[in-house]
Each structure stands twice: as structure tokens, then as C-alpha cells.
Amino acid sequence: MPTLQGQTMDEHFFKLGMDASEPYLTYAKSYTTVNSPQKPREWVKRSGWTKYNSDGSWEPVDAPNESMLTFDTEVMYKEHSFAVMACAVSPTAWYAWLSPWLLGESENEVQLIPLGDIKQPRIVVGHNIGYDRARVLEEYGMEQTRNFFLDTMSLHVAVNGMCSQQRPTWMRHKKNKDLRDKIANESNSVELAALLESKMLSEEEEELWVGRSSVNSLRDVAKFHCDVTIDKSQRDYFGELNRQQILGKLEELLDYCAADVAITHRVYKKVFPNFLEVCPHPVSFGALRHLSSVILPVNETWKEYLTNAEATYHQRVDDVQRRLVELCNEALKVKESPDIYMNDPWLRQLDWSGQEIKMVKGKKKGDPPRPAARQKKPGMPQWYKDLFPKSTADISLTVRTRIAPILLKLSWDGYPLIWSDKFGWTFKVPKDQVKKFENQPVVLCDMSEEKNLELRDDRKHVYFKLPHKDGPQARCVNPLAKGYLQYFERGTLSSQYALAKEALEMNASCSYWISARDRIMSQMVVYEDQVKQSGSTGEKSNRLGFILPQIIPMGTITRRAVENTWLTASNAKANRVGSELKAMIKAPPGYVFVGADVDSQELWIASLVGDAQFQLHGGNAIGFMTLEGSKAAGTDMHSRTAQILGISRNDAKVFNYGRIYGAGVKFAATLLRQFNPSMSEKETQQVATNLYRETKGTRTTRRILSENSFWRGGTESFVFNKLEEFADQERPRTPALGAGITEALMRRFINKGSFMTSRINWAIQSSGVDYLHLLIISMDYLIRRFNIDARLAITVHDEIRYLVKEEDKYRAAMALQVANVWTRAMFSQQVGIDDLPQSCAYFSAVDIDHVLRKEVDMDCVTPSHPHKIPHGESLDISRLLDKDQEAYLDPSVVPVLPPSPQKYSYTPREPVMAALQANNNPAFIKAQITKDDKELREIIKEVTKTKSATASTARSVRNGSKSTNFHSAEPQKAVLMDVDSGLYRDFRIGMALQRLVEMGAIENKNFVAGWAGGDGLADAAEDEGGDEGCVEGADAVDDSLGVAEGLKDARVGRGPDLLAVGIYVPDAGDAGGEVLVG
């Protein structure tokens, strides 16, 4: 193993993080202290970059070549994807770039913006800067530039973002506020009175977090951080005007672009210091450079992929549509035979009215009547007319059209499908056959409120809703959706026509392409010859191109990266058109992809949090299963869950992660219904409830054991209790890197217990992001230290892929293994465990491949890609070690760009988990394990007995001292302060003490300070009445009471004028200590 850069893993990673962050971190901090120079009054109309000096002069330049820039581009997005103008500002000058295409100097729209020497370190600040990076010239190359693209949107999300549950409330608040501001500017006060009457204003006051967050657009972020209102209406010009019209407004639009740059810099100056406070570890900053510089290489096969997928899609859709039209024409043949269509359970649902042809008088006297002009399909029934948007348009009939199931004559268990406006698709069963469906996952419909009189008045039949993956309340609106294919294969859903199954299969196979085709086809591909401007058309198959994924490196409050195509791309499936997308990313000749999937990353983090209480890997049940369970033997957590529930292992993964993230029984039941449709509703609820009882446990409230309610008796109770304790801190921080939660989810700004699922989810997912950041920084160091030719290609949550020179592939694989060991060791040490089991230390496999794909042995054969892709290589640690010198990280290698972590000094920090180990007393641990109520009562009895003995000793000590009359004292206001161990000698505490002595409240100064909030104490006082009333502090005092290190017990009593908190303090010369009240 390479040598560590410190005595602890935290010191090691601090130094690696600092080394990766510099000089960028220095630039970034410095850039927050400078003001932008004055914006130019006039702009020069010339292509390329123009520099505007602060003295008013200007000069043409090839590129800004600055070390600090704020940058923004503008794109005529309806014309093409390339920038037509850009503005940038440095601490000393303004810059503007104009496209030669815009000025008519070239008809080639592929114009990229140069930023300067790729060897020069620079920070480039922008709002959603990934969009602008895709238009930068130097980024399209195999060699990584030393640009650090800093995204103000990501910084804002990490510091003041909101979770998806909060967004609707925030939008409602914004709408109300905008309305209020509008009314305030008008003289008419009637609307204002109505607004006040509707209590909208009081609602805002209840939601404190609303004022601590905003959505992510530059307009909203600028308003939130800088209280600046900006007008974005000119942006529409880039979508509405042509080239000449844009040129006509050039001055105005450059002013608009420059204004965005100036406001982005102002936002940056506010939000970056806040980000460093929320995410103080240098690893959290340093990893962003690599995440913002990902790259995906392609060749000419990319164009073939788009052509083949589109052609396959159209061929399948057109074939099914053509045959649906044939069925439609078949149905039309009986339009004049009501006795036939009214006795057909499907056709009678169609509207056969409107077949009359409107006639008008002949043009001349004696001429016969003639059909009226502009009639839509005269003589045809209404249902047929409805298939044509206009009389001259083509028929609009697809598998998603409402009448398609009717034309296909679909049945459920042999009973015809009937459409209900209230319940969606149902099936009709004679009353004497209802028993057949008693234990099936279908819901009986109450037709009393149905609009269709024929269904409402039907006394001979009952109607059942078709099952839906979202539960019994949801209604099925398209039985030809891909989720119903399984019912077709089992024969539950059937048709008189073979076409029905084909239509379903077509819908399932094309669903991915239908949803993703616009995003995929709009991907911006730039080929090397276009960058070099060689003029070559380069039709050769080995033509190299690049896609720069427009990633938001911290797009969610958990700091996960967000991107709408590559981070959501599916894996290749044999029946899905276009699903070979990822495999179209192909390493250039001489390069390979080296990467790995982190094994059960978030599951391991969750189990480690539970193990922390025992300071032992595998100390709790889920931790042991995570370490010892094997996928191959079917003993890992996902395999066991799959066996218990009768579902696949992949489905069990969704189930398990949902539970770990805090989702409840309702979520579990919905998933079960989706994964195992044969289960009845009652059975689904029962299985989900039982599984939660066995895993999560039973929710219990015993304040003598724990201030908050806790889970007990489940295999995962320890984990959930620790996660909830974690999430319920004032500002939760991740255990590894100490990254804080967004302000909108801080406890002080939300109601007690609110958004708990989001906060638990944050604790796990944000720790997963820490894991990724630690891996990236480890690899950054190892790549430079051992001269490995590699750069980060893409990360997808728990997957990481590097683009590596062929001769370095095994050393890069070994570097990944080392990075994983370091990362897991860092997590373990930060929760207080100073060892690491081999079973989780290494990646189970490192993949070496020439394309991107989930597994190296996937053929990636799909309807649009019939040819197999040759397999790659997958190596576990043993096989990698067998490579000997090829995989050896030789310490004698002299680095070309030597890292220098040793020059940074390190100050030890207290681990985040240290503050959460307070309630590890044996009684509480036993209580979390027990399922038996009787055993729990015995534990409580033992704790009560111990506490009574302690209180008795404390009382005898107090009785020997002078009594104080508290009833005449003034009520004491709560004082909020942070108190560290030993700070009772501090000057401030001394002053407060002296004041209490003067009041006659206390005599003895030997105490450990705590703090309390009035509301919590008031609640506590209600628990016990009377002058002598006294209750256990752990039972009576809620979150508002915090106690410093050394606190052993607390007691609360209430008199007529005073609510007091007693704190038990051990005294050096006294066996029992004393209880002081103040």
C-alpha cells in the first residue's frame, strides 16, 4: 500500500484534499473579496474575444488567460447548440466574445470559445456552468485542462437548497408574496383585505424554512442571496429572433449577458463563504473540479446508433398503428348494424351517434339536396370522427389512444374490459361469479357516482378496477402500458387478436426511446477535426468525438450530481429500443475505461452507523449481514429480502434502500404490489407490516431510557435509532467529512419531526457523496504520484469510470482498489472503529472495458443493436495481484507533476460521531434489542431502581447544605450558549454564577452548565404539578434542554413562580455529587 500522508486517515485526507484543492481554493477565496470592474458602456462588433480595460480602452485577444473568471454564454437554441456570444469578467477587466457565424463571417455554426492555456490553473465561475463548459474549446480533448468550473447553482443547493417535499410550499409562498407585493403597489386595498382574511400571511410565518431557501434559477438565487431583482425577459430573444435580428439588438443583448455575469459574481461572493462553512473539508471542494470536468468519447458509430434506434422505433410503431387502423376499419363495417354492435360488450362502449349527413338545398331550383360543406367525415360515427384532429388530418390512433383496448377486445380473466370515467379501466363480472375474485389484488367499484348511466344502473354485474402498481386508489388508464405485459404473459390479460400482445410488447420496447429520444438526439457531439478546424469531413469510422455531460455537480440537497441523460441512462435490455445508449460511449484507440461499482455503498454506510455503538464491524445484525452475507450464496441482505417477499433481488434492492432512507409501510406495500402483482391487498399490507416489524422493529416511547421514541426488537433497530438521532441534530453533519445539511432542513427552521424522511435520506445519501469525493481525491493523488495516464470520465452515484491509457490499465485498477481501502478506512475511523474487514475493504471487481456498460460481459444486444459487443475484463483483488508488475504501484516512480500534501499543516478535529455516542448506556442498548414487552419492563424497573438510589444519595448531600427559598426568586430567562467540557470556569459562566448567588438561587458553584429553551421547559413543567413535584429529567425535558459533557442526571420541579432544572454533578470529594437548582 502507498504510504499514508499522516498519523490518521483524517490527516491523510485533509492533506490530499488540500493538495488537490490548491491553487484553486486560494483563488476561490480571493475572488470573493474583489468587486467586478465597471461594465463597458459600448461593445465592439468583432468576432472572437475583445478585452475591455478599466480605463475604457479595448483590445483584441485570443483568450482571457486569467486565473479568475465569471463566465456566461448565450445560445440561439432553436438554430443550433453552439454559443453566439459570451461575456466574462476578471478582477481587472471585462471580456466579450462574438461568434464568426453570428457576424456572417462563417457559415459554420460549430464555433467554440477559447479560455486560454490548458496548463494554467484557473477558476471559472458560472450559474449552471456545465452548460457553458460544453461550449469551451479546450475542454474537447483527451488531456484534462486545469480549469476548475465552479457552479453557483450547486453551491446554493448545498447551502440553501430544498427537498422535493418543500418545493410546492415554497412556490405557493412565492406566489402569495408576489401577489402581496403587487397589491401593496396598488391603491385598492380590497384585495389586500381578502388576502389577510385568507390567512396567507400567517401561513408564511409558520413555515420558517421558507425564508431560508429558494429554487435554483439565477433570478431566484440572486433575489435570495443579494435581494436583487433581475429581468430575464431578453433571454426570449435568443429563441424568437433570427441571426440578423439578434445582430440588430447586439448592444442590448451583450448588456444582458454581461448583467448575468455581474450578478453571478455577486451571488458567488455571498454563497461561496457559506459553502466553505457548510462543507469545511478540503476534499468536498477539491472533488468538484473533477466532477465538473467529465468527458465521454464517441466515434462515428454514435450517428449509426441514432439512425438505427429511430428507424427501429418508427418501424415498430408504424406496424402496430397500421394494424390498429385495420381493426378500426373492421369495426366501421357494422356501423349500420346496431343489433351487432349493441350486443358486443366492447363495441357498445363506442359512441355510434352522429352518422347523419347534413344536407343543404341544391344550388339551383330543382337540384337535389347536397351534403353541407366542411363536414368532418360525414356519415361516420362520432368515435371515428374523434380520431381526426381536423377533417384533412391523418388518423390519430396509437396504442395510447383510449379506444385501442376496445378495438383489441381486451379481457381480464375472460371478462371484457369496460371504461369508467370514475374508475378508469374495469372489467365486468356477473354477480354469481364474484367469489372468484375475493382474494385477488382487484378492487370492487362502487358505481353509484358513475356518470355513465349504463354502468350505474347495471344490476346484473359488478365491476372491478384493474390493478395498478401505485395501489388500490390509482386507476388504470392504459392497459397496454409496459407494466401490464406480465399479466399478458400469464394469460390474465388477453385479447381476441394476436396483435394485442404485439402492441403491448411494442409499447414496452419503445417506452425508453419515447421518453429519452429528445434528450439523446440533442446531445452536443463535437469531433476532433471540428476542434482543430481542419476542414476535413472525416467520414472515417475512427473519427473521434466528445460529449461533455452538462452536469450539475451538486444538484440535490444531498449534494448528488444531476444530469438528465447520462446519469439516468438505463442498461442495455434485449427488448428495449435504444437502451444500448451507454455502450455507444467508446474509448479512443489506445485507451480503455477502468472503473468499479461500490458494493452496497449506502447499505454499508447505514450499517456502519449502527456498528458505531459497539465500536465493532458487524456489531449489529444488519452490519453482520452486510459483511458476511454473500450474493453468490444468497445470504446477503437483498437476496434474503427477495426470498422472504417472493420478488427478484433487483426489486428487493429498491425495497431495502427505501426502508433505509426512512420510507414507511405504505411505500413497502406499494412496491410489493408492483413486484408481486398476484398478492391481494390484505396480504400485501400484512407482509409489509410484518417485514417492517422484523427489520425496523416496534416504535416505543420510554423517556426513562431515551428522550425520544425509539425502535426496538428489529434487526435494523440500532441503525434506525442512530439515523434518527443523527437527523434530529440541530444541524446534522456527515460522519466522514462533516458536511452540513441545507439551512432549509435545519431543526430550528422546521416543525418538530417534520421532513424526517428527507433528513434521514440526507444523512445516508450525503455520506454516499462523501464516499465518492474521497475516492476521487484518492485517485487524483495516486494518478499524479505514480504517473498514471488517466482522467475521470463519468460517475453515476455509486459507479465511477476513468478513461485510462491502455498500458496503465492495471495500475489504474490497483489505484482504484487502494482508493477504496483508504475511503472505507476513513469512514471506519471517523465512527470510532480502528480496523477494516477485508471482506469490504476492496471492490469486489474492477472492470476494464472499451465501452461503458454495467457489466463487462453484457452483449448489449437490443432491437436497434443486433450485434454483440466483445466482452471486457473484470478483476477482483486476487486476480489483480496476479498481474504482478503490471499492476504494481512502484514507490520509486518519479512523478512528472508531483503532489505535495506534506506541505499542508493539519489540525485534528473531533469526529462528528463522537457527539452521538452519549446514549450508549447498557440499559438502552438492551432495550433496543428486546422484542418482549415483559423484558422491556424489567429493564425499566432496573433503571428506575438505579436512578432512585442515585437520587437518594444526592438528596442526602443537599439536605446537609443551607436551604434556599426559590418561590420569591424572579423567573429566570433561558440563556442559549455552546458550552464545552470544563468551561464552567470560564469568565462568562462565572458572571452568570455570581448573579445567581446574588439572587439567592444557589450557593455552590461546582456545577456543569447546560442550556434550555423556554418552550421545552414549559412542556416539562406540565408533566408534574405541586411545589414538591419532581420528575426524572430524561422523562420531562424535551429537545429544548441541552446538557454539557459530564451531565449525569436532570430533575425538574415547579413552584408557583419558578420552573427549575436540576443538574446532577459529580463532586471530586463526594461519592454522590449534588443536585443544584437554578
- The set of catalytic residues is 72
Nearest C-alpha neighbor of 150 from the set 712, 573, 547, 554? 554
Cβ–Cβ < 8 Å for 1062, 964: no
Q: How far is CA 351 from CA 341, 380, 449, 896, in A?
A: 11, 11, 21, 78
68-75 vs 122-126, strand pairing mode: parallel
**Does residue 866 have a cis peptide bond before it, meaning omega lies within 30 degrees of 0?**
no
Cell of 130: 456545465
Cβ–Cβ < 8 Å for 405, 425: yes
Residues 6+ apart with CB under 8 A from 93: 37, 51, 52, 53, 54, 66
Instruction: Fill in the amino acid letter for 440.
Output: Q
94-98 vs 493-495, strand pairing mode: unpaired
DSSP H helices in 73-149: 129-133
Element holding 848 (H helix, E strand): strand 846-849
DSSP character at residue 927 = H
Rounded distance between C-alpha atoms, residue 1016 and residue 1021, angstroms? 9
Rounded distance between C-alpha atoms, residue 629 and residue 1009, angstroms? 47
Q: How far is CA 883 from CA 74, 450, 822, 877, in A?
A: 50, 72, 22, 10
Rounded distance between C-alpha atoms, residue 205 and residue 125, angstroms? 35
Residue 798: CB atoms within 10 Å: 16
Rounded distance between C-alpha atoms, residue 655 and residue 642, angstroms? 9
Residue 934: CB atoms within 10 Å: 7
Cβ–Cβ < 8 Å for 818, 889: yes
| Cβ-defined contacts of 104-111 (< 8 Å, 24+) | 104/243, 105/47, 109/79, 109/80, 109/82, 110/82, 110/526, 110/530, 111/82, 111/83
Rounded distance between C-alpha atoms, residue 39 and residue 52, angstroms? 9
Nearest C-alpha neighbor of 1062 from the set 951, 925, 917? 951
Element holding 694 (H helix, E strand): helix 681-695
DSSP string, 751-763: -TTTTHHHHHHHH
Instruction: Fill in the amino acid letter for 772.
Output: L
Rounded distance between C-alpha atoms, residue 100 and residue 132, angstroms? 18
122-126 vs 147-151, strand pairing mode: parallel
* Grid-cell match 426511446, residue found: 513
DSSP string, 496-507: SSTHHHHHHHHH
- End-to-end CA, the chain: 57
Cβ–Cβ < 8 Å for 425, 665: no
Residues, the chain: 1078
DSSP H helices in 380-424: 382-385, 404-407
Cell of 172: 405557493
Residues 6+ apart with CB under 8 A from 467: 441, 442, 443, 476, 673, 677
DSSP character at residue 1059 = E
Cβ–Cβ < 8 Å for 583, 851: yes
